[in-house]
Amino acid sequence: MEYGICNLAIVPLRAEPSSRAEMVSQILFGEVFEIMERKDEWIRIITTLDGYEGWLNYLQYISLSPAAYKKHQQKKVPLTYRPVTQAWKTADNSVVYLPVASSLSFLEGTTCHIGSEYFEIIGEIGAKEDIANTAKSFLNAPYLWGGRTHMGIDCSGFVQAVYRLQGIILKRDAYLQAEQGQTVDFLQSAKLGDLAFFDNEQGHITHVGMMLNNSQIIHASGRVKIDKIDDQGIFSGDLQKYTHKLRIIKRLL
């Protein structure tokens, strides 16, 4: 088995081996993955974090030996908690701007050893906050299909990032996340941190958000925002109408 690690701040994970293909997710600095297939300038990978599959350009990662991968898996990897953390790349005296929830893999002191490259972390990486403040730090982040950062994020990427910063791993897509946790039978019983899922006319789950209480939800729709929610679904303050039909609420905390 071959392995790799992301040595850039953030790179797109695509549905097909093409720069024009749909971005289905993103790989953040320090995240590792298994390499399943090679095709021209592309590799098909499965992420170690959440088992997500896609295509990565061969210039946007470096190889990781099986021994290094095993070492990585045996140790809890620190994360960055600030929206942006600076890292000094010593090889070319440049600065890499790491997004939130980047993995400080192979960290020794303040230096990440990513293969033969060294990244010196500049300043504080931040600290874990309560889940409400973590979620609200993303307010007004623009919606971006496949996005996982403050610079652009989708609905499932948003709740995944918030939970990741709480030390809990969620799957990548909303319909997969809906399989996790315990069902909350009534909206009135919902509490801070519960996840609400919404379906389309075909009954497929297509949206997710995080409950702030039993009448407010924070979610990524156009941008990360707070809206009202009732048994019917989300009532958009921007559009003054219901936009998402409630399907189920799950509790993971």
pLDDT, one tens digit per residue, over 46-74 is 999 999 999 999 999 999 999 999 999 99
All structural domains of the chain, each given as residue ranges with its CATH number in brackets, are 2-122 (2.30.30.40), 131-251 (3.90.1720.10)
> Would you place residue 115 in the very low, low, confident or very high pLDDT band (cuts 50, 70, 90)?
confident
How would you class 172 by CB atoms within 10 Å of its CB: exposed for 0-12, middle for 13-18, buried for 19 or more? buried
How would you class 93 by CB atoms within 10 Å of its CB: exposed for 0-12, middle for 13-18, buried for 19 or more? exposed
233: left (phi over 0), alpha (psi -120 to 50) or beta: left
The amino acid at residue 119 is: F
Is it the case that residue 202 has pLDDT exceeding 90? yes
Nearest to 196 by CA among 183, 153, 137, 204: 183
Q: What is the pTM of this model?
A: 0.96
Question: How far is 106 from 114, CA to CA, in rounded Å?
Answer: 7
pLDDT at position 193 is 98
Is it the case that residue 16 has pLDDT exceeding 90? yes
Tokens of 24: 């289905």
What does the DSSP 8-state code read for residue 142?
B
pLDDT, one tens digit per residue, over 68-89 is 999 999 989 999 999 999 999 9
Contact, 132 vs 159, CB < 8 A? no
pLDDT at position 110 is 96
Question: How far is 127 from 109, CA to CA, in rounded Å?
Answer: 16
Contact, 82 vs 62, CB < 8 A? no
Q: Is 38 helix (H, G, I), strand (E, B) or coil?
A: strand
Mean pLDDT of 120-138: 97
pLDDT at position 63 is 96
Name residue 44's beta-bridge partners: 37, 55
Mean pLDDT of 180-194: 97
Tokens of 45: 């990978």
Tokens of 65: 């030996």
